[in-house]
Amino acid sequence: MSDSAAAAHPNLALLKRLGDHFPHDLTGAGELIADDFVFHYFNTNLPELAGDYIGVDGLQGFFQKLGAKSKGTFRAKNKNLVHVGDELVVTSATPEMTLEGKSFEWDALFIWRVVGGRFVEAWDIPAVNTIRRFEPG
Protein backbone atom coordinates (compact mmCIF):
# COMPACT_ATOMS: atom_id res chain seq x y z
CA MET A 1 0.00 0.00 0.00
CA SER A 2 1.38 3.41 -0.87
CA ASP A 3 1.85 6.02 1.82
CA SER A 4 -0.67 8.29 0.08
CA ALA A 5 -3.31 5.52 0.18
CA ALA A 6 -2.64 4.98 3.89
CA ALA A 7 -3.02 8.71 4.50
CA ALA A 8 -6.44 8.63 2.81
CA HIS A 9 -8.10 7.04 5.86
CA PRO A 10 -6.77 6.40 9.39
CA ASN A 11 -7.88 2.75 9.36
CA LEU A 12 -5.81 2.09 6.24
CA ALA A 13 -2.84 3.70 7.99
CA LEU A 14 -3.51 1.42 10.99
CA LEU A 15 -3.50 -1.63 8.71
CA LYS A 16 -0.24 -0.46 7.14
CA ARG A 17 1.32 -0.25 10.62
CA LEU A 18 0.07 -3.77 11.40
CA GLY A 19 1.51 -4.97 8.09
CA ASP A 20 4.98 -4.32 9.48
CA HIS A 21 4.32 -7.20 11.92
CA PHE A 22 1.73 -9.35 10.14
CA PRO A 23 1.39 -12.33 10.04
CA HIS A 24 4.58 -14.01 11.24
CA ASP A 25 5.77 -11.76 14.05
CA LEU A 26 3.18 -9.76 15.94
CA THR A 27 5.66 -8.68 18.62
CA GLY A 28 5.05 -4.99 19.18
CA ALA A 29 1.62 -5.06 17.54
CA GLY A 30 -0.20 -5.05 20.89
CA GLU A 31 -0.79 -1.31 20.71
CA LEU A 32 -2.72 -1.84 17.46
CA ILE A 33 -4.85 -4.77 18.64
CA ALA A 34 -7.37 -4.55 21.49
CA ASP A 35 -6.93 -6.90 24.44
CA ASP A 36 -10.34 -8.45 23.69
CA PHE A 37 -9.72 -8.67 19.93
CA VAL A 38 -11.38 -11.73 18.33
CA PHE A 39 -10.16 -13.39 15.13
CA HIS A 40 -12.77 -15.71 13.62
CA TYR A 41 -11.38 -18.50 11.45
CA PHE A 42 -13.13 -21.26 9.59
CA ASN A 43 -11.89 -23.10 6.53
CA THR A 44 -13.45 -26.42 5.52
CA ASN A 45 -10.03 -27.55 4.25
CA LEU A 46 -8.37 -26.83 7.62
CA PRO A 47 -11.06 -27.64 10.21
CA GLU A 48 -8.46 -28.31 12.91
CA LEU A 49 -7.66 -24.57 12.93
CA ALA A 50 -11.29 -23.42 13.16
CA GLY A 51 -12.25 -21.24 16.07
CA ASP A 52 -12.00 -17.86 17.69
CA TYR A 53 -8.59 -16.56 18.68
CA ILE A 54 -8.48 -13.86 21.36
CA GLY A 55 -6.06 -10.93 21.63
CA VAL A 56 -2.70 -10.47 19.99
CA ASP A 57 -1.47 -13.70 21.62
CA GLY A 58 -4.40 -15.62 20.12
CA LEU A 59 -3.75 -14.17 16.66
CA GLN A 60 -0.04 -14.98 16.97
CA GLY A 61 -0.96 -18.48 18.14
CA PHE A 62 -3.16 -19.02 15.09
CA PHE A 63 -0.34 -18.09 12.73
CA GLN A 64 2.09 -20.29 14.65
CA LYS A 65 -0.28 -23.25 14.21
CA LEU A 66 -0.70 -22.43 10.51
CA GLY A 67 3.07 -22.06 10.16
CA ALA A 68 3.65 -25.45 11.78
CA LYS A 69 1.02 -27.12 9.59
CA SER A 70 2.49 -25.60 6.41
CA LYS A 71 6.10 -26.06 7.57
CA GLY A 72 6.64 -22.29 7.34
CA THR A 73 5.43 -21.94 3.75
CA PHE A 74 2.30 -19.83 4.41
CA ARG A 75 2.41 -16.42 2.72
CA ALA A 76 -0.28 -13.94 1.70
CA LYS A 77 -0.08 -11.27 -0.99
CA ASN A 78 -2.48 -8.38 -0.40
CA LYS A 79 -4.19 -7.13 -3.55
CA ASN A 80 -6.66 -4.43 -2.50
CA LEU A 81 -7.36 -2.58 0.72
CA VAL A 82 -10.64 -0.71 1.10
CA HIS A 83 -12.07 1.08 4.10
CA VAL A 84 -15.83 0.73 4.46
CA GLY A 85 -17.09 3.63 6.51
CA ASP A 86 -15.19 4.37 9.68
CA GLU A 87 -15.22 0.89 11.19
CA LEU A 88 -14.34 -1.75 8.57
CA VAL A 89 -11.33 -2.46 6.37
CA VAL A 90 -11.53 -5.17 3.72
CA THR A 91 -8.39 -6.75 2.33
CA SER A 92 -8.47 -9.01 -0.71
CA ALA A 93 -5.50 -11.33 -0.77
CA THR A 94 -3.97 -14.39 -2.37
CA PRO A 95 -2.69 -16.69 0.38
CA GLU A 96 -0.46 -19.61 -0.53
CA MET A 97 1.15 -22.55 1.24
CA THR A 98 2.45 -26.05 0.77
CA LEU A 99 0.76 -29.00 2.49
CA GLU A 100 1.87 -32.59 2.12
CA GLY A 101 4.20 -31.65 -0.75
CA LYS A 102 1.51 -29.82 -2.77
CA SER A 103 1.51 -26.05 -3.17
CA PHE A 104 -1.78 -24.17 -3.32
CA GLU A 105 -3.02 -20.60 -3.60
CA TRP A 106 -6.54 -19.24 -3.27
CA ASP A 107 -8.48 -16.01 -3.04
CA ALA A 108 -9.56 -14.67 0.32
CA LEU A 109 -11.06 -11.66 2.04
CA PHE A 110 -9.85 -10.51 5.41
CA ILE A 111 -12.22 -8.13 7.16
CA TRP A 112 -10.98 -5.99 10.04
CA ARG A 113 -13.21 -4.07 12.45
CA VAL A 114 -11.64 -1.00 14.03
CA VAL A 115 -12.96 0.82 17.09
CA GLY A 116 -11.13 3.60 18.89
CA GLY A 117 -8.06 3.31 16.67
CA ARG A 118 -7.48 -0.39 17.43
CA PHE A 119 -8.43 -3.66 15.78
CA VAL A 120 -11.22 -5.32 17.77
CA GLU A 121 -12.36 -8.11 15.46
CA ALA A 122 -11.38 -9.83 12.21
CA TRP A 123 -12.70 -12.53 9.89
CA ASP A 124 -10.84 -14.63 7.32
CA ILE A 125 -13.10 -15.66 4.44
CA PRO A 126 -11.38 -18.11 2.06
CA ALA A 127 -12.67 -19.07 -1.37
CA VAL A 128 -12.31 -22.80 -0.66
CA ASN A 129 -13.89 -24.02 -3.91
CA THR A 130 -11.41 -22.31 -6.23
CA ILE A 131 -8.07 -23.38 -4.78
CA ARG A 132 -5.34 -23.42 -7.43
CA ARG A 133 -2.28 -25.65 -7.41
CA PHE A 134 1.04 -24.09 -8.39
CA GLU A 135 4.74 -24.79 -8.34
CA PRO A 136 6.59 -22.47 -5.93
CA GLY A 137 9.45 -20.61 -7.38
CATH code of 15's domain: 3.10.450.50
Q: What are phi and psi of 116, to 5 degrees?
A: 60, 30
Spell out the residues 6+ positions from residue 63 whose beta carbon is closer than 8 angstroms to its own: 23, 24, 26, 74
Prediction pTM value: 0.86
- Residue 53 · residue 59 · CB < 8 Å: yes
7-60 pLDDT, tens digit each: 579 999 988 888 766 776 787 788 899 999 999 999 988 999 999 999 999 999
Q: Which domain holds residue 111?
A: 3-133
Report the domain count for the chain: 1
51-105 pLDDT, tens digit each: 999 999 999 999 999 999 999 999 988 889 999 999 999 999 999 999 989 999 9
CA 117 to chain centre: 18
**3-state SS class at 43:** coil
